[in-house]
Amino acid sequence: MGVKKWLSLCLTCLFILTAAGCGGNNSGGNAGGAQGTPASASPEASASAQSSPKAATPVKVALDWTPNTNHTGLYVAKELGYYAEEGLDVDIVQPGSAGADTMVTSGEAAFGVGAQDSLTLARIQGVPLVSIAAIIQHNTSGFAAPVDRGIKSPKNFEGKTYGGWGSPVEEASMKAIMDPVGGDVKKVKQVTIGEADYFTAVKRDIDFAWIFYAWTGIEAKLRGEPLDMLYLKDYAPQLDYYTPVLTTSEKEIAENPEVVKAFLKATSRGYQYAIDHPKEAADILIKAVPDLDAKLVQASQEWLSPKYKDDAARWGEQKTAVWKNYADWMYGLKLLDKPLEADKAFTNEFLPDGQ
């Protein structure tokens, strides 16, 4: 799972998002609540209606990428019946060309998997997306290189070739971690490699790239191709942002708060199960998506499970300072047109009180 594709999709879809508005509602208006009985109904009919089980509320969740261990808690909650217990019939889908943010904003999906950086850009453009939970508490992405390139510090980027997708955020992030160690980002050669596979690109065209360690880094280890990983958060605190996050729309929150609460209650249980039982959780993901490399899923899950909650009081918790620090950094670099109203970009309101 590379960083470049999902952020590229987010950037290219921003104007689509802005225009999409908040169309259809995926979770069905009064879904999850009891329907009223007509005044003219007989007592027998009324009693029958009250004793009938409620139909499950259909809910669509759009992933940000192909299924991977970032998403395990969703699959666990579905497989173990946590969603069903909350009266939800959850369908987990891949995003397609439009992207999860667009699907959530348009109402095609009630919930999606996104990231703080792309949601920040969307909010500045007036897109009514809201982050409702941090899937992983700290940023596990960073710049990675095969060990034979000798990149042990951001300063070692000098004279090397970076492969990315041509976004100004990349150079800004590189500069943010190079400056504290006396590096000069202008001495880095940057090339656009599009959708090229990391393992192919570092053998052919580049020295380093931006990856998520939990997937590409673990895969490198399994391949016997060790790499040096420089995590963004270790060099620049403002880059310790939430990625990925669960998102919904302002419309969904306003019209179906009970669905949002039920969804997060079940999802929290799913991620807590993955924290407590990484092997069993990985097995559930493999069962749901049999095309995945089982060894990679198991190894990735073992590494990632402790990082879902990490040092937070509860899974999913988000802090204003994390949202503000990242947005202020972007605004200071003129990557945002105006400051972010951080408190409106996320909410902890629908998280369950305890795990």
Query: Among candidates 198, 205, 256, which has minimal Cα distance to 223?
Result: 198
Strand order in the sheet with 88-93: 88-93, 57-62, 111-114, 245-249, 129-134
Same fold, 57-137+241-344 and 141-238: yes
Burial of residue 272, with CB atoms counted within 10 A of its CB: 0-12 exposed, 13-18 middle, 19 or more buried: buried
Question: What CATH number has the domain spanning 57-137+241-344?
Answer: 3.40.190.10
- Looking at residue 5, what is its pLDDT? 45
Structural domain spans, the chain? 57-137+241-344, 141-238
pLDDT of residue 354: 60
In Å, what is the CA distance from 241 to each residue of 107, 117, 138, 139, 346?
26, 8, 7, 6, 13
Range 223-229, long-range pairs (CB < 8 A, 24+ positions)? 223/199, 225/146, 225/199, 226/146, 226/147, 227/144, 227/145, 227/146, 227/147, 228/144, 228/145, 228/146, 228/147, 228/149, 228/151, 228/152, 229/142, 229/143, 229/144
Query: Which amino acid, 252?
Result: E
pLDDT tens column, 253-312: 999 999 999 999 999 999 999 999 999 999 999 999 999 999 999 999 999 999 999 999
For the chain, list residues with pLDDT below 70: 1-53, 354-355
**From CA 322, how far away is CA 344, in angstroms rounded?**
13
> Cα–Cα distance between 58 and 44 in angstroms, integer?
29
pTM above 0.75, yes or no: yes
Q: Name the class of domain 141-238.
A: alpha beta
